[in-house]
Structure 1
């Protein structure tokens, strides 16, 4: 039920204003008409019933007074004439009958075939009012409707009683006539009210419809629309307020458009400056972005031509943009100098049919200031790039010299020192055979064992300085061989996983650098990590070589020592970093106390393989 009520309420709310106004007027008319009918009929009915009873008493008393002598003389004829006159003058009289002093019916209007019933006789009788008898009124229902019965005494009741019964026919006719008149008046008044309401509603709806049309136009972006003010009432004042609102919206729209235009201009300026900032590392890109900047200036300032000239490290870079039409000699020209540290390093010139406005000049000055900063950044970047290239060249020379020196020392250790120690061992063996006693023999054997250990160490040092397997067989076999030697010497398990390099060779500098990085990393593990396992992953994909070395040692706090601050106690890490950077790679170290250490070497350019064959040569 509640849902139905809410649905009806919503339907009523959704009706148009026109329907609501007409509905309210119609409802008011119906309510007023219903109230008029109700109160009028009730009041009229009470008055008519009261009047009917008064007439009934009057008729009964009249008949009682005139019937007294006739009843005494038993003049039935005259009594009948009186009754007929009464019926003629009072059509709403239902019946009349006269009783004598003994209660017998003397005359009645029921006809010869009907008699007065005992029930009717008992329904009413005269009432005593002190010592006199007065007429009494009683009402009851009959077959013909309500009856108002009056009993009037004749000669104070001594001679008999006159009974008059009156129906409500005239009351009903009067009520019907009055009710019909009220209904017709109500309908007429309602129609007139509806016509007046419709006319007023048309006037009101015209103004509302106009405001709706103007609102839709404003919503569509037409701020030139205005509402016509046709009156000085509330709708007229509303139209004036609406027009004022549109005027303010138009002003705000123009302000927003101007602000948006400035913002877009600033955004394009920042975009061009950003592109110029990106282009500081590439002269060709810088020239391209400078040309785009000239195009942007020429377009935004609506000029015919724009030219930019900047000196970078003494070398001028120029870019210009212009429209199809030639500005000619009479065109206005406006220029701004690019100044850095009090020295002019270039200019920005625009030419066209008119000078830039104040905002355009402000934009140009701002652009020139930023361009001066960017040009300085270009020079600084060129200097940094030159120094970095020089540093890498020197580093490559140092590394090359180191490797050559390692090879020389390894060769001398193998060819000279090893031979000398071998000769010493042979001599000690011969001396052992000619020992004079057991004591001398033990001393010789101890010297022989020391010489053998020294020879093994020399062989290991020689192999570590420059393993021949790296030159003969390549990077992967050299790594596996070194991992095996490292595991045997230090008791640390080393797992080597290779992806994409099993049967391929890389350039010599890449192979040597990667090998030295692995060698230095394993040396650090042996010295500091106290690890039990080391994992080496070497992966080559899309001409990019990645290396991961991970151990389960004690680790260290990398946050306390950033990679850019390796000190004298971390020369090994510093050396690895420099070696990797020399071949275009990047070193990342991840570690934590108690969580081991992981070295990531990323982005080494391998390019084309040196050779796809595996070299196996003897020594």
Structure 2
């Protein structure tokens, strides 16, 4: 083999190696770009879903606020007038008078219940009271019904979160409590809030009948009912961890873990 042929082979080999090198680099760059594209697409989808959920929550809160205002301004006033009319009605029959007094008491209770419900639904009241007082207030309302016992325990040094986060957390807790009343056939609800190592843990526990709980699927909690999925999505929106444990005959426990890396001081400033 002469020197010219050897040089051609060397050049050809170098060209093949360079081509292979550039091909490998091209494949690596392509894959990196594809991965970045998929990540950006997933982030865009997540952002869209979060924005959509945020909009839905804002609409729900405005609807609740409107209902609260309607109860306070219209239904409550009508019942107040009915109670006043009964109080000013002159009746000679002692039996009828006793019935009027009983009706007054029932209407008075209905007015108070409506006021309590109006406050529980109103976003402004919840923000004014704060998360902990709002949870306690909700438990007090349930206890007033006489159908269930409640308890509330707080441990650790309490901290306040952003108002929007506190409102979302309260709606999750409120939904959990209402689920207990509707479905659990429970005699007691226990709410616990623990502040520890810059994490707030909330546990809502009942002694009801429980239910079969299927594992969370990788495709987005499709095994859960709508109410539980809504609670999970709300928790995800504010960076909270949501879990629920339940067994037939052993009650249900709902857990929320919320990072406290962004808290609010007494003056309303973010830390």
**With structure 2 as the length reference, what TM-score do the two structures score?**
0.78
What is the CA-CA distance between 1:509 and the residue it aligns to?
Answer: 0.8
Q: Where does 1:148-297 land on structure 2 (aligned, <5 Å)?
A: none
Q: CA RMSD in A?
A: 3.4
Q: Within the alignment, does 1:426 sit opposite 2:81 as a pair?
A: no
Provide the C-alpha distance between the structure 1 equivalents of 2:92 and 2:233, rounded to a whole number of angstroms. 59
What is the CA-CA distance between 1:407 and the residue it aligns to?
Answer: 2.5
Assess, with a 3 A threshold, how the Cα gap between structure 1 residues 557 and 364 changes in structure 2: closer, same or farther.
Answer: farther
Provide the C-alpha distance between the structure 1 equivalents of 2:213 and 2:105, rounded to a whole number of angstroms. 44
1:461 to 117, 122, 126: 117
* Equivalent residue, structure 1, for 2:264: 610
Higher relative contact order (CA 8 A, sep 6+): 2
Provide the C-alpha distance between the structure 2 equivalents of 1:605 and 1:390, rounded to a whole number of angstroms. 23
1:598 to 243, 250, 253: 253
Q: Within the alignment, does 1:583 sit opposite 2:238 as a pair?
A: yes
Q: Within the alignment, does 1:402 sit opposite 2:60 as a pair?
A: yes
> Retained in 2: the 8 A contact 1:506–1:610?
yes
* Equivalent residue, structure 2, for 1:565: 222
Provide the C-alpha distance between the structure 1 equivalents of 2:30 and 2:247, rounded to a whole number of angstroms. 46
Q: Within the alignment, does 1:519 sit opposite 2:177 as a pair?
A: no
Deviations 1:559-597 (A, max 9, x none): 277571156xx3321221121112112311222222222
1:472 to 128, 151, 157: 128
2:161 alignment partner, SS class: coil
What is the CA-CA distance between 1:491 and the residue it aligns to?
Answer: 4.0
Assess, with a 3 A threshold, how the Cα gap between structure 1 residues 585 and 438 changes in structure 2: closer, same or farther.
Answer: same
* Equivalent residue, structure 2, for 1:535: 190
> Retained in 2: the 8 A contact 1:583–1:605?
no
1:506 alignment partner, SS class: coil
Provide the C-alpha distance between the structure 2 equivalents of 1:467 and 1:368, rounded to a whole number of angstroms. 55
Provide the C-alpha distance between the structure 2 equivalents of 1:414 and 1:566, rounded to a whole number of angstroms. 39
Assess, with a 3 A threshold, how the Cα gap between structure 1 residues 366 and 597 changes in structure 2: closer, same or farther.
Answer: farther
Assess, with a 3 A threshold, how the Cα gap between structure 1 residues 595 and 364 changes in structure 2: closer, same or farther.
Answer: farther
Deviations 1:31-59 (A, max 9, x none): xxxxxxxxxxxxxxxxxxxxxxxxxxxxx
**With structure 1 as the length reference, what TM-score do the two structures score?**
0.37
Provide the C-alpha distance between the structure 1 equivalents of 2:191 and 2:157, rounded to a whole number of angstroms. 14
Provide the C-alpha distance between the structure 2 equivalents of 1:470 and 1:452, rounded to a whole number of angstroms. 24
2:214 alignment partner, SS class: helix
Provide the C-alpha distance between the structure 1 equivalents of 2:51 and 2:132, rounded to a whole number of angstroms. 27
Provide the C-alpha distance between the structure 2 equivalents of 1:438 and 1:495, rounded to a whole number of angstroms. 43
Deviations 1:189-215 (A, max 9, x none): xxxxxxxxxxxxxxxxxxxxxxxxxxx
Normalized per residue, the structure richer in strand is: 1
Deviations 1:318-339 (A, max 9, x none): xxxxxxxxxxxxxx999xxxxx
Assess, with a 3 A threshold, how the Cα gap between structure 1 residues 542 and 356 changes in structure 2: closer, same or farther.
Answer: farther
> Retained in 1: the 8 A contact 2:212–2:248?
yes
What is the CA-CA distance between 1:540 and the residue it aligns to?
Answer: 3.3
Instruction: Give the count of matched residue pairs.
Output: 257
The higher radius of gyration belongs to 1
Provide the C-alpha distance between the structure 2 equivalents of 1:486 and 1:367, rounded to a whole number of angstroms. 66
Say which is worse superposed, 443-452 or 514-523, in terms of deviation: 443-452
What is the CA-CA distance between 1:371 and the residue it aligns to?
Answer: 5.0
* Equivalent residue, structure 2, for 1:508: 163
1:497 alignment partner, SS class: strand
Unmatched 5+ stretches in structure 2: 1-9
> Retained in 2: the 8 A contact 1:532–1:553?
yes
Provide the C-alpha distance between the structure 2 equivalents of 1:492 and 1:400, rounded to a whole number of angstroms. 31
> Retained in 1: the 8 A contact 2:61–2:123?
no
What is the CA-CA distance between 1:598 and the residue it aligns to?
Answer: 1.7
1:555 to 201, 210, 229: 210
* Equivalent residue, structure 1, for 2:104: 448
Assess, with a 3 A threshold, how the Cα gap between structure 1 residues 392 and 560 changes in structure 2: closer, same or farther.
Answer: closer
Assess, with a 3 A threshold, how the Cα gap between structure 1 residues 552 and 430 changes in structure 2: closer, same or farther.
Answer: same
2:148 to 488, 492, 511: 492
Unmatched 5+ stretches in structure 1: 1-331, 335-352, 615-619
Provide the C-alpha distance between the structure 1 equivalents of 2:141 and 2:162, rounded to a whole number of angstroms. 25
